Structure 1
């Protein structure tokens, strides 16, 4: 609690100004200020026990955000790669089917022509094992597909 005294000029001074006991001169804090100060002191003591400073708080959130972003990018890239492979497999099968049907009437050259139109190349072509049957293997990118066609009744 403050006590007031007057100096030679008649100005009022507190005990703190006069150099008296400092522990009595601390300004009284409101209850909310007192709670905030106690919370800060408790945080400081806890951080000293952990061996961290108060500037380290919130670092986990940044780390979690970074790891989540990296995982999201990896997942998106994996899905894109799977989609690309699926599209190539579908294109290869379509090209193999078209080449096999075309080669029933036009032979190997017709199979190569239709495969090229579909963006593929003929890897293997052979007639048989039945008399009116052909088998064609084509490649699109890294994917191969096989198709068999028959002209038998």
Structure 2
């Protein structure tokens, strides 16, 4: 495992799973291990709002290409409709948990920069399927 380094960023992601499909954090971590050789996210927020810590804040994830150093990754289950088109599918419980997590990180790291995956330069995808600046 590689050290995360000083925390400067927090990036919100969606799992790109269809609305309402109850995919668990353990499954997402298995997918990431198969694709990237490691767990990608520090937190996965399940449909019921449960925050599952999947990586400690001291370990670098694999969620924003070459921009993972100092970057906390939070993923919510969902993010697409039944036809796999981007859609903000967050449940009220997921919204509350995401707001809480972001608030906690902002308290711990007052200068943290919060972005959606799509807000990173060179990222050509809709993830997390909502505007992080206005949707938290």
The TM-score by the shorter chain falls in which range? under 0.3
- TM norm structure 1: 0.23
Larger-Rg structure: 1
- TM norm structure 2: 0.25
Kindly indicate whether structure 1 or structure 2 has the higher relative contact order, using CA contacts under 8 Å at least 6 residues apart: 2
